[in-house]
Amino acid sequence: MAPESDLLFGDHLRELRKVKGLSQKELADRVKIDFTYLSKIENGRAAPPGEETLRKLAAALGTDAEDLIFKAGKVPKEIGEVVTKSAAATMLMRGMKDKEFTEEQLEACLRELKKKADKK
């Protein structure tokens, strides 16, 4: 059985496709993937595709590529590079993984950082 996260991503992708009024075949043709592969993704029988395909899907569906990448349980390459090159970012990610911070605490920190950035 597919992991719950794969099925949830597939449901999200299916909804985006339907809102756009595209069949699986139409979307697959636009992205240059096999429509049976797209069907497997939507039904949670295949894991979400790689970043390049996710970006093509996002473009074809008129949605934010990074949002779709995150929903697929992946990290965009550019963000991964930032995290691996910053000790502070790595520590923050580790703390998030270990659930040291609540979502509310993270949102409060983000608001404070934005305030400080706006003052510069």
So what's the pLDDT on residue 5? 55
- Indicate the pTM of the whole model: 0.75
Total residues found in the chain within this entry: 120
Task: Tell me whether residue 15 is in a domain.
Answer: yes
So what's the pLDDT on residue 72? 96
Mean pLDDT, consecutive 10-residue stretches, the chain (120 aa), reads: 66 96 98 98 95 98 96 92 88 87 90 87
CA angle 100, 4, 83 (to 5 degrees): 40
So what's the pLDDT on residue 104? 92
So what's the pLDDT on residue 97? 84
So what's the pLDDT on residue 1? 44
Looking at residue 85, its amino acid is K
Task: Tell me whether residue 79 is in a domain.
Answer: no
Domain, as residue range, for 13: 4-71
CATH number at residue 23: 1.10.260.40
Domains: count for the chain: 2
Task: Tell me whether residue 80 is in a domain.
Answer: no
So what's the pLDDT on residue 94? 87
